[in-house]
Amino acid sequence: MSLKKEYGHVENGFGNFVPVESDTDYSAINDVPVDTTTIGMMHSHFNNFATGNIHPETGDPEIIKPIKIQSPKDVQLFLVLLRNAANNNIPLKKVYLTMVSSSGVYTLKYDGNANNIPAGGSTNGLTAEKFEKKFIEYIKKYKNERGLLKFMKDEMGISNVSLYRTMNNGNTKKYYLEGDKDKLKKDVCHED
Protein backbone atom coordinates (compact mmCIF):
# COMPACT_ATOMS: atom_id res chain seq x y z
CA MET A 1 0.00 0.00 0.00
CA SER A 2 1.35 3.40 -0.94
CA LEU A 3 1.25 6.42 1.35
CA LYS A 4 -0.74 9.44 0.23
CA LYS A 5 0.60 11.79 2.90
CA GLU A 6 3.94 12.51 4.46
CA TYR A 7 4.18 11.20 8.02
CA GLY A 8 6.90 11.71 10.56
CA HIS A 9 8.06 12.57 14.04
CA VAL A 10 9.86 15.58 15.49
CA GLU A 11 12.31 14.79 18.28
CA ASN A 12 12.02 17.19 21.23
CA GLY A 13 13.91 16.75 24.45
CA PHE A 14 16.14 13.85 23.38
CA GLY A 15 13.75 10.94 23.06
CA ASN A 16 10.37 12.68 23.11
CA PHE A 17 8.81 12.22 19.65
CA VAL A 18 5.88 14.34 18.43
CA PRO A 19 3.93 12.93 15.43
CA VAL A 20 3.43 15.18 12.37
CA GLU A 21 1.76 14.66 8.99
CA SER A 22 0.91 16.65 5.88
CA ASP A 23 -2.46 18.41 5.81
CA THR A 24 -3.63 17.02 2.48
CA ASP A 25 -2.87 14.07 0.24
CA TYR A 26 0.32 14.34 -1.82
CA SER A 27 1.63 17.42 -0.03
CA ALA A 28 4.58 18.13 2.22
CA ILE A 29 4.46 18.51 6.00
CA ASN A 30 4.08 22.24 6.59
CA ASP A 31 3.71 22.84 10.31
CA VAL A 32 6.67 21.39 12.17
CA PRO A 33 6.66 22.21 15.88
CA VAL A 34 10.12 23.43 16.91
CA ASP A 35 10.85 24.33 20.51
CA THR A 36 14.03 24.98 22.52
CA THR A 37 14.75 21.24 22.81
CA THR A 38 14.09 20.16 19.20
CA ILE A 39 17.01 18.27 17.65
CA GLY A 40 15.62 16.55 14.58
CA MET A 41 12.87 15.22 12.42
CA MET A 42 12.29 12.02 10.50
CA HIS A 43 9.56 11.73 7.89
CA SER A 44 8.42 9.82 4.84
CA HIS A 45 8.19 10.81 1.20
CA PHE A 46 5.57 9.10 -0.90
CA ASN A 47 6.15 6.99 -4.01
CA ASN A 48 5.14 7.71 -7.61
CA PHE A 49 1.39 8.17 -7.98
CA ALA A 50 -1.24 8.76 -10.64
CA THR A 51 -3.03 12.10 -10.35
CA GLY A 52 -6.22 10.78 -11.90
CA ASN A 53 -5.76 13.21 -14.79
CA ILE A 54 -4.88 12.46 -18.39
CA HIS A 55 -2.00 14.30 -20.06
CA PRO A 56 -3.64 16.51 -22.73
CA GLU A 57 -0.95 15.94 -25.37
CA THR A 58 -0.13 12.24 -24.95
CA GLY A 59 -3.39 10.85 -23.61
CA ASP A 60 -1.42 8.94 -20.96
CA PRO A 61 -2.29 9.01 -17.26
CA GLU A 62 -0.38 11.78 -15.42
CA ILE A 63 2.13 10.31 -13.00
CA ILE A 64 3.89 12.38 -10.34
CA LYS A 65 7.38 11.06 -9.59
CA PRO A 66 8.65 12.63 -6.35
CA ILE A 67 12.41 12.76 -5.88
CA LYS A 68 13.20 10.36 -3.07
CA ILE A 69 15.69 12.52 -1.19
CA GLN A 70 15.36 15.62 1.01
CA SER A 71 13.56 18.50 -0.71
CA PRO A 72 14.53 22.19 -0.58
CA LYS A 73 11.78 22.64 2.02
CA ASP A 74 13.38 19.87 4.08
CA VAL A 75 16.76 21.61 3.83
CA GLN A 76 15.22 24.88 4.99
CA LEU A 77 13.83 23.04 8.02
CA PHE A 78 17.30 21.55 8.62
CA LEU A 79 18.66 25.13 8.79
CA VAL A 80 15.93 26.07 11.27
CA LEU A 81 16.89 23.07 13.42
CA LEU A 82 20.60 24.02 13.28
CA ARG A 83 19.95 27.65 14.23
CA ASN A 84 17.59 26.53 16.99
CA ALA A 85 20.24 24.17 18.39
CA ALA A 86 22.93 26.87 18.25
CA ASN A 87 20.64 29.34 20.04
CA ASN A 88 19.78 26.81 22.77
CA ASN A 89 23.23 25.33 23.43
CA ILE A 90 22.38 21.97 21.85
CA PRO A 91 25.45 20.34 20.25
CA LEU A 92 25.11 20.69 16.47
CA LYS A 93 26.31 17.12 15.95
CA LYS A 94 23.00 15.94 17.49
CA VAL A 95 20.88 17.74 14.88
CA TYR A 96 19.51 15.66 12.02
CA LEU A 97 16.86 15.54 9.33
CA THR A 98 15.91 12.08 8.07
CA MET A 99 13.78 11.18 5.06
CA VAL A 100 12.43 7.65 4.52
CA SER A 101 11.34 6.42 1.08
CA SER A 102 11.23 3.27 -0.98
CA SER A 103 14.76 4.05 -2.23
CA GLY A 104 16.24 4.06 1.27
CA VAL A 105 16.73 6.33 4.27
CA TYR A 106 18.65 9.61 3.93
CA THR A 107 19.88 11.60 6.94
CA LEU A 108 21.46 15.07 6.85
CA LYS A 109 24.06 15.86 9.52
CA TYR A 110 26.09 19.05 9.97
CA ASP A 111 29.86 18.91 10.37
CA GLY A 112 30.51 22.66 10.80
CA ASN A 113 30.22 25.12 13.65
CA ALA A 114 27.54 27.65 14.53
CA ASN A 115 29.43 30.51 12.83
CA ASN A 116 29.14 28.74 9.45
CA ILE A 117 25.36 28.24 9.48
CA PRO A 118 23.94 30.57 6.81
CA ALA A 119 21.71 33.25 8.28
CA GLY A 120 19.14 33.18 5.51
CA GLY A 121 18.92 29.78 3.94
CA SER A 122 16.95 31.76 1.46
CA THR A 123 15.67 30.91 -1.95
CA ASN A 124 17.98 33.50 -3.54
CA GLY A 125 14.99 35.69 -4.33
CA LEU A 126 13.34 32.98 -6.44
CA THR A 127 9.71 32.02 -6.11
CA ALA A 128 9.10 28.68 -4.40
CA GLU A 129 8.21 27.16 -7.79
CA LYS A 130 11.41 28.40 -9.50
CA PHE A 131 13.51 27.33 -6.52
CA GLU A 132 12.03 23.82 -6.69
CA LYS A 133 12.66 23.74 -10.45
CA LYS A 134 16.32 24.67 -9.92
CA PHE A 135 16.60 21.88 -7.34
CA ILE A 136 15.21 19.34 -9.82
CA GLU A 137 17.76 20.54 -12.40
CA TYR A 138 20.58 19.81 -9.90
CA ILE A 139 19.18 16.34 -9.16
CA LYS A 140 18.90 15.51 -12.87
CA LYS A 141 22.39 16.84 -13.67
CA TYR A 142 24.30 15.44 -10.69
CA LYS A 143 22.03 12.59 -9.43
CA ASN A 144 20.47 12.40 -5.95
CA GLU A 145 23.33 12.54 -3.44
CA ARG A 146 25.69 14.93 -5.25
CA GLY A 147 22.77 16.98 -6.58
CA LEU A 148 21.36 17.59 -3.10
CA LEU A 149 24.73 18.47 -1.57
CA LYS A 150 25.73 20.75 -4.50
CA PHE A 151 22.33 22.45 -4.42
CA MET A 152 22.73 23.09 -0.69
CA LYS A 153 26.21 24.52 -1.23
CA ASP A 154 25.67 26.49 -4.44
CA GLU A 155 22.12 27.77 -3.99
CA MET A 156 21.67 27.93 -0.21
CA GLY A 157 25.21 28.57 1.02
CA ILE A 158 25.29 25.45 3.21
CA SER A 159 28.52 23.49 3.33
CA ASN A 160 30.01 21.14 5.91
CA VAL A 161 27.10 18.75 5.49
CA SER A 162 27.17 14.98 5.28
CA LEU A 163 24.39 12.88 3.81
CA TYR A 164 24.00 9.35 5.16
CA ARG A 165 22.14 6.78 3.10
CA THR A 166 20.90 3.58 4.65
CA MET A 167 19.83 1.10 2.02
CA ASN A 168 16.92 -1.28 2.51
CA ASN A 169 19.48 -4.07 3.23
CA GLY A 170 20.94 -2.09 6.18
CA ASN A 171 24.18 -0.96 4.49
CA THR A 172 25.02 2.68 5.29
CA LYS A 173 27.21 5.13 3.37
CA LYS A 174 28.27 8.69 4.17
CA TYR A 175 28.34 11.12 1.22
CA TYR A 176 30.06 14.52 1.18
CA LEU A 177 31.60 16.96 -1.28
CA GLU A 178 35.36 17.37 -1.55
CA GLY A 179 37.67 19.75 -3.39
CA ASP A 180 37.16 22.68 -5.75
CA LYS A 181 35.13 20.59 -8.19
CA ASP A 182 32.79 19.28 -5.48
CA LYS A 183 33.65 15.66 -6.12
CA LEU A 184 31.24 13.32 -4.38
CA LYS A 185 33.06 11.18 -1.85
CA LYS A 186 31.56 8.28 0.03
CA ASP A 187 32.65 6.32 3.04
CA VAL A 188 31.13 3.00 4.00
CA CYS A 189 29.81 3.28 7.56
CA HIS A 190 28.18 -0.11 7.85
CA GLU A 191 28.00 -3.02 5.48
CA ASP A 192 26.69 -6.52 6.09
The band of 155, judged by pLDDT with boundaries at 50, 70 and 90, is: confident
Amino acid at 48: N
Residues, the chain, total? 192
Against a cut of 0.95, is the pTM above it? no
Res. 190: pLDDT tops 60:
yes
- pLDDT tens-digit map of 5-17: 788 999 997 789 9
Res. 36: pLDDT tops 90:
yes
The band of 51, judged by pLDDT with boundaries at 50, 70 and 90, is: confident
- pLDDT tens-digit map of 157-186: 888 999 999 988 888 999 999 988 899 999
Cα distance between residue 156 and residue 151, in whole Å: 7
Q: In DSSP terms, which residues pair with 139 in a beta bridge?
A: none
Average pLDDT over residues 57-68: 84
Q: Which residue has the higher pLDDT, 67 or 72?
A: 72
3-state secondary structure of 74: helix
Check residue 103 and give its pLDDT. 82
Check residue 123 and give its pLDDT. 63
Cα dist from 160 to 35, 75, 152, whole Å = 24, 13, 10
The angle subtended at Cα 144 by Cα 137 and Cα 131, nearest 5°, is 35
